[in-house]
Amino acid sequence: MDGMRSPSYIKKLDDLLCGGLIKPSCILIAGSCGVGKTNLCMQSLFNAAKEGERCAYVSLLSESETKITRAMSSFTFYDENLIEDKLKIFSINSDVVAKGDFAIFEYINENILKDKPSRVVIDTMNVLEDIESTFDERPFHKSELRAFVQNLFQEFDENEILLLATGEIPASNINESIWSYIFDTVIVLDIQNDDENNYRYLEIIKERGSDFITGKHKFTITNDGISF
Ligand SMILES: Nc1ncnc2c1ncn2[C@@H]1O[C@H](COP(=O)(O)OP(=O)(O)OP(=O)(O)O)[C@@H](O)[C@H]1O
Ligand SMILES: [Mg+2]
């Protein structure tokens, strides 16, 4: 594919992706809890914002903005001055999520897309597994969830947005997850044991219509964020 490439702003990851992320497209950052999904996404957002890109971080976990920024403030990529100006932080309340598909769509259109951001992070997709139909007030069938997410992604696509979303999916379950076939690109993070040492690794599982470097690549998390 000859789509436009946009850097993840994480050295080495851009090399593994043969130049960067395809824009517009949707990228799943998957892995179990604590592997570094939020850090990776935030590092990409802050660095993109520093380059002048309009960015948005959307929490679906009803976390306060203070809690979200506090977790990031010890990293060197963090810059308070970018928040509000270039990097907007949204937290979709559980009330909105409980109201169902239509309410979420409306919130995203009226709050996030109206700013015309070029890069958006949704943290985490799993929350959407429990959404209901706003009008019928009953849980979604799997096919309805898929249609809802595809419509949502189409909206991002039409707005030329690079969408990164996290998924609480252990590396070993990635192939069975509905999320892995909805997304264009799937990147999985994992922690493995090796002679009593824990190490983190990143693996690109797929990138639709493009080449990438396969294999498990070790990384660490330091004050500078994720580095290989
Ligand atoms: N300054 C730092 N130096 C080293 N490691 C750090 C630092 N700050 C955070 N970490 C590590 O980052 C990890 C958390 O990363 P992150 O919050 O991105 O994970 P996550 O995959 O989003 O988890 P969850 O699924 O719980 O949201 C923790 O395991 C912590 O050890
Ligand atoms: Mg997280």
Nearest residue by C-alpha to atom 15 in ligand 1:
36
> Tens digit of pLDDT for each residue in 29-68?
999 999 999 999 999 999 999 999 999 999 999 999 999 9
Nearest residue by C-alpha to atom 1 in ligand 1:
223
Per-residue pLDDT at 196:
84
Asked if pLDDT for residue 74 goes beyond 90, the answer is yes
Instruction: Say how far apart CA 208 and CA 150 lie, in whole Å.
Output: 15
Per-residue pLDDT at 3:
65
Query: Which ligand is closest in space to the CA of residue 59?
Result: 2
How many angstroms does the Cα of residue 37 sit away from the middle of ligand 2?
5
Nearest residue by C-alpha to atom 30 in ligand 1:
34
Give the pLDDT band (50/70/90) at residue 197: confident
Q: What are the structural domains of the chain?
A: 4-227 (3.40.50.300)
What mean pLDDT do residues 14-26 have? 96
String of DSSP letters for 98-146? HH-HHHHHHHIIIIIGGG--SEEEEE-GGGGGG-B-TTT-SBPPHHHHH
User: Relative to the CA of 189, which ligand 1 atom is closest?
Assistant: 21
What mean pLDDT do residues 157-176 have? 97
Asked if pLDDT for residue 155 goes beyond 50, the answer is yes
How many angstroms does the Cα of residue 123 sit away from the middle of ligand 2?
7
In the block, residue with structure tokens 């690794």: 201
Per-residue pLDDT at 109:
95
Nearest residue by C-alpha to atom 26 in ligand 1:
33
